[in-house]
A and B are shown apart, each in its own frame.
Chain A
Amino acid sequence: MNEKNIKALEPAESAMGGKIDYDEVRKLVGLLEEKNLSVFELEVEGLKIKIARNSPGAAPLMAAAPAVSAAPETPEAAAAAEARAQAIEAAKGHHLITSPMVGTFYRAPDPTSAPFVDIGDTVKKGQTLCIIEAMKLMNEIEADVDGTIVEIYAENAKPVEYGQKLFAILPVS
């Protein structure tokens, strides 16, 4: 949970069309890290970008104070990649499956079975993609479009938040 993940904000605000330069996004994310920003807004040619980051204060130096021991679990690079990936999905029109609840994500019905789906698999609407365990209940999450799995964001047996991206599907057009 303590990931220092960098995320593009509300979809409405990060309305990124085909115009966006991903190198630019990468540069922005770099700036965020360098300047230790929490929130950052930029407007270029009518395009508004807002980026937020989960670390107030000077992370590397704060680590010197034992009370602030929360060391980043995932490297900053991964966070930058996630921001980029998210922007790419939005731009490409991929269909995202997000978690409808808080719980633990499982890719297979049990530890010995094969995953429900993998990247490249074709899925049908209604097909089970994963299980989220919450309150000791196993909740099957289904595809709501026909298409091909192009990305799996969540890690097996790891916690997921409400609204967290689980899968990207390239819909059959």
Chain B
Amino acid sequence: MTYEVVISGFGGQGVMIIGQLLAYAGMLEGKKVSFMPSYGPEMRGGTANCAVIISDEVIGNPLVSTPQVLVAMNNPSIEKFEPMMASNGVVLTNTSIVDRLQTRADVKFFGVAANDIAADLKNAKTANIVMLGALLKIVPLIKPESLILAFEKKFVAKPEVIGINKKAFECGAAAVK
């Protein structure tokens, strides 16, 4: 099984971090993983995106041209990546910001009001982690436990962050059915 995921948003929304967490968790789970950031002049426009592949097989091209999964943190992300999606793909949008409507019938859309949930948690910065929680609920890319482990390893120096993130992660998961 191979999952090809694109995560996209404005610079500053923590898009790269959740991509790396996903790849890291996949690695901890023993999967083959790759993480590929967009780089260069795209930065200027203020958008950021990354491609994450989680697979049981050797990963060839770390770029993703036909995402099965898209995490869209803003409108331009939908604009750019929806047309590229694989049939039967899954799009998860941040409905706190994204108001664009689905245009492709062969793609499943999910939404979670990540910024609102994060605001409720009194931690606006965790909107990206909320998305992650929702994502893993919808698509079993990896086991949620692996992601919790990833938190623990990644933020070993800042234990307070681990708790906040776990909470956001769970709220995200709870926000989708």
Is A bound to B?
Answer: no
